[in-house]
Chains A and B, each alone.
Chain A
Amino acid sequence: MVNLATKLYVALSGVALVAAIGYGVVVGDRAGADLLAGVAGAAAVLALVAAFTLRDDRAPAVPADAPAPERRNAYTEADAPAASAWPLVAALSLVSLALATAAGASWLGAALAATLIPLGGWLSQVWREHPSFTGPVQARVVERLVAPLAMPVLGVLGALFIAVMVSRVLLAISTTASWVTALVLAAGLVVVLWFIASRPRLQPSALVGIASVALVGMVAAGAIGAKAGEREFHPEPSEIPTVAVTAKDVQFSLKEIKFPAGEEVIVKFQNDDVGTYHNVAFYTSTEPGSRPLFNGKPIPGGRIQYDTHTPAPGSYAFVCDFHPTTMTGTLVITPAESKTAGEETTKH
């Protein structure tokens, strides 16, 4: 159990421990003493590792009448480790993580995701080099794992790629042109596929050529389309009358709310009195016994949006149902505006 490495690490541990205690007592610097104590502990672990791994570390016994030392067969070409690109890729990935810390959160996320590539690649190489990974095993793995996984994944990725590239083009041109282009593309696809299917003895190189042309074309068109930007869309404007009210210190922020009659309206309510329930409610008047028109959901704090419908024109009241005496205001409903020709009414 006791070999030279164990002795080395035990000595380091002992020296560090003595230094930790002495330094801590004499100088009182907590950080330095704790660091030295950490080294003492770590070196003790290393000593155990060395003790159990190397055992006695003895040389084979050489009898006194043994022949003189001579050369022995050592290694062959097969003992040299195999090359691999994955360490370089892993290093690039680590450095890109470092660069991403300066670039921003989204880059960092991308760099983190990218670390899976060298990890997966390195693992697959180590896996293939294991002696149990024979030819039949490899065939089974490809059949059961790689193909069932790779096909769908590649298919999804391919579909995404096509969708993104083609959509960049279709969004950049006008509506009519995009219809025409899509139909032309679909027709062209049918023609190309019929061409391929009708020639059973087509060379693989020809297929590769067609696929490459398509790929390059899609990437180029997609890039141009993305650069050109999307065409103008005219979203319909929403013109729902909206009012914002805040409740603070058991008071409303507004004394009067004005809405047009007979319309969908929005009241954006914010309760700044955390812990106290408030709401907004519409009544015909502030007299007790008046008819409620709308009672908003009470909240003990935070924000809420009330959607409701305004009554006929007139003067009403809005109150807080929990503090009807102190939190009140006037709700004025004006006659609905006549719509001018050409303006579209919107319905939500």
Chain B
Amino acid sequence: MSTPTMLALPRGDRGRPTNGLSVATLLAGVAELMVVGALVAGYLNVRGLADRWPPKGVSLDNYLGTTLTITMGLTIVTAEWAVYALRRGNRRQSLGALTLTGGLGLAFVNLLWYLGTQLHFGPADHSYGALAYALLIVVGVIAVGGIGFLIVALTRTMGDQATASDPSLVRAAAWHWHVVSAAWLLVFTALFLLQHR
């Protein structure tokens, strides 16, 4: 079966695609958003059927939610800036933007943890508790994964493995961080904007 035609023909294959990492990141991102979306759907469903929502004695501090949202909003800009700078060959700016995004991400996770400690109800107290903790834990896990991705992009850019000619790693890390922002936006809408019936 394999009788290669050893003429001076071009290779029959296409070579490796350059945007594979971004595509895979967006596919994974869609899956992550579906997890959060499903929890939000459940939240909205239970909220619509409850007598009293949120239950007695439960109140989320809007200040914390707004701060978290502003933090994520900032990271949209810094993540895109990192890609933009790398494409233009400005490696130092790109590293700075990645570090900034990572730092804001750490601040986000930190404040998210603090929000969790201020909840004054347990995950098993009522259905609101289960849904709220599920939403916060899932978005926290996604954010931690996103920070890990950023750290990988940062170190590999420092090692010159992501350059102006091949910025795919930083592009993928930025896409993933946008997914984290979108996930937080969904959680914020459910827990804060739609907090009361």
Contact = CB atoms under 8 A, between A and B. Distances in A.
Interface string A114-153: 0000010001000100101100000001000000000000
A72 B5 CA distance: 6
A73 interface: yes
- Interface of A, secondary structure class, is helix
A200 to B, nearest CB: 39
B160 A53 contact: no
A95 interface: no
A29 B23 CA distance: 34
Interface stretch (A42-50, A209-217, A221-229): A42-50
Interface string B107-141: 00000000000000000000000000000000000
Given A45-B26, A73-B11, A75-B13, A38 B5 contact: no
Given A45-B26, A132-B161, A30 B12 contact: no
A234 interface: no
Q: How large is the interface on B (under 10, 10 to 19, 20 to 34, 35 or more residues)?
A: 20 to 34
Contact of A74 (B13, B26, B27, B45): B13
B48 interface: yes
A38 B3 contact: no
B194 interface: no
A34 B45 contact: yes
Given A31-B45, A72-B9, A127-B159, A45 B148 contact: no
Interface string B37-64: 1101110110010000000000000000
Interface of B: 3-6, 9-13, 19, 23, 26-27, 30, 33-34, 37-38, 40-42, 44-45, 48, 148, 152, 156, 159-161
Report the 10 A-B pairs with minimum CB-CB distance, sorted nearest first: A72-B12, A34-B41, A31-B45, A38-B37, A30-B45, A42-B30, A130-B161, A74-B12, A72-B9, A71-B5
5 contacts: A30-B45, A31-B44, A31-B45, A72-B11, A73-B6
